[in-house]
Amino acid sequence: MAPRALWSCFGTKGRDGSNNDTSMVDESEEDDKEGPVLIEMFTSQGCATSPMADLVLSRLGRGDFQLGIPVVLLAFHVDYWDYIGWKDPFGSSQWTVRQKGYVESLGLDTIFTPQVVVQGKSQCLGNDDNALIGAITSAPRFPAPSFQATFNRPTSNSMEVSLTGALRNKVDNDGADVMVALYETGLVTDCPRGENKGRVLSNDYVVRKLENLCTVKDHPAKKTLSGTIHFPLWSGFKSCKCGLAIFVQTSSHQILGSQSFHLPDDI
């Protein structure tokens, strides 16, 4: 078994939450100088306390907590709990590596689930509603990027996304990555083994793919960027259940802006 000092699965309790999910970019959003807050949940179907945190994330997306702050939500399912009886079907070592990057940048002693990282700058237990609300309300905010997307299906098992827009926040000489996540909501899994044995697990905003659109340095806020991402698709892909999140992240893991939108139903 992996040492608990390194791989930790925490539970706590809390009650209130946050605001709505993602939103289509429109003129009013583009004029807003305080764009969304990026919320990254590191979770696992193999962790007994993660389902409560997954519910908190879903409630944030429904707007249950009415904070008045737009959020972009992403759930990264890690793979380090797969050894205890249930292999998370959405788990990936890529997301474990991403979480380890935050452990280092935030000066933490351990990696654990469920963990929420807010704007790349603060973290808390994913099922501690009050701590999460505090992190959201105190997070630095930046203008949302103004990307517009066009979609194409070159094959039945792939999707091409072309993006054009401005970052709306200056990037200095240290540089930043423009990342594009393809996520899926409304996932339901029967869990016959592991710590959640016998439970029906619901997951939203599950990151299925994450790609780097480009890396920029000394980039003016209003300068237009364009690029194309090619996503391989999974069995059972339905565009009506999926969305895109775009975020700008520095080498020190700070988020400089984010936006998201649902995929068209006819893709």
Domains of the chain: 7-262 (2.60.40.10)
Confidence of residue 255 (pLDDT cuts 50, 70, 90): very high
- Is the pLDDT reported for residue 20 higher than 60? no
- The 10s digit of each residue's pLDDT in 36-66 is 999 999 999 999 999 999 999 999 999 999 9
Phi/psi class of residue 38: alpha, beta or left (left: φ > 0; alpha: ψ in -120 to 50)? beta
Confidence of residue 266 (pLDDT cuts 50, 70, 90): confident
Distance CA 202, CA 34 (A): 31
Residue 86: closest CA among 46, 42, 48, 47? 46
Distance CA 264, CA 246 (A): 16
Six token digits for residue 10: 């925490």
Distance CA 85, CA 67 (A): 38
Do 50 and 98 contact (CB within 8 A), yes or no?
A: no
- Is the pLDDT reported for residue 84 higher than 50? yes
What amino acid is encoded at 22 in this protein? T
Query: What local confidence, expressed as pLDDT, does residue 81 receive?
Result: 97
